[in-house]
Amino acid sequence: MSSNTLTFQETDRFKGLLILLIVFGHISQLLEQVGSLHSTLYSFHVVSFLLLPFLFNNDTLNYKTIKKNLKRIYIPYTIFFLIALLAYSILEQQFNPISALSSWAIGSSALLKIDTGFRILWFFPALMFTVLLIMLFNTLSKKIKIIFFSLMFLGHILIPFIPKAYLFYFPLSSYISIYLFVIGVVVQYIYKNVNYTKYPSWLVSSLFLLSLYLSYGSDFSLASAIFPNIWDNPFNFILQDIIMILSFFTLISWSKNINFFTKFGKYSLAIFTIHPFIIQALNLFYEWTTFTEGIVKFLLVLIITSIIIKIVYHFNINKILYPK
């Protein structure tokens, strides 16, 4: 067994770094100034959030665990979907209830963008389906697990060949969960069985940064269904898998001793759900264009989001928005 078990505080620090990267990634004025930084960033930061449940979820699939996770994931998803839908309907003066219900149920970024103006909400259905797959995997016998893993491995290879127009109609953004499942199991195995902390952190970090350098300029996005495929570019296909695995453990090593990230991690779900609204509000009042303005916008988003979160938790609204 490995000796690199994360404490709650280290997990919060890891999530804190990830959520800051996500907010940073949503400030277009910062990313557009540096070539393919957008694709580089999106090749690992949201991925790591979806890989976290593989480390800690030991539940088996049953009514009780499904209900627990539906409550934890789908209540905030539904509340913020309705808020976004209302705001978008007022601003754009359009509302299609059938289309809105369809985009909520399917949960793909493309459909959510059409009805709410917010692509980011895709994360919740994808997380739900990922958790369902993990719990199903935990329920299976050892022999059936091998078969299931093989099917997911096949899915990992085939998903990039399916046109976006079809992937965007996979229920619960399930194409993302299927694509990531194999990576999640590999990350889980390393975390539980390999003492990766015995290797110098500079070595893992160097390999991660080298992988990013080699992949620079290639497109990758879970939400936009942009994946390298093994037929057209086997090198990039394998390299992207390596990046997703290395980034997970590299970002853990970068964050685990930095207390600054703790609070951001503790409130990462609240930051995730609130900050897009702040970004859109700021866009209504000012046309942000330069890199310097992007930095100011990034800091304003964090400050305003933090103030709103403080109010939410002070009045116990968090118990409604983010049930446990």
How does pLDDT run across 97-153, given as a tens digit for each residue? Answer: 899 999 999 999 999 999 998 899 999 999 999 999 999 999 999 999 999 999 999
Domain range annotation of the chain: 8-321
More confident residue, 209 or 200: 209
- Angle between helix axes 109-116 and 63-92 (nearest 10 degrees) is 40
Predicted confidence band at 4 (pLDDT cuts at 50, 70, 90)? low
The rounded percent of the chain whose pLDDT value lies above 70 is: 97
pLDDT-based confidence at residue 32 (cuts at 50, 70, 90): low
What's the whole-model pTM score? 0.94
Q: How far is CA 201 from the centre of its chain?
A: 24
**Do residues 170 and 102 make contact, with C-beta atoms less than 8 angstroms apart?**
no
Asked if pLDDT for residue 1 goes beyond 50, the answer is no
* Stretch among 38-47, 55-64, 154-163 having the lowest mean pLDDT: 38-47
32-46, 203-217, 305-319: segment of lowest average pLDDT: 32-46
- What is the pLDDT, as a whole number, of residue 198? 77
Judged on CB neighbours under 10 Å (0-12, 13-18, 19+), 236 is buried
- Percentage of the chain with pLDDT > 90? 73
**Per-chain mean pLDDT for the chain:** 92
Residue 298 and residue 30 in contact, taking contact as beta carbons nearer than 8 Å: yes
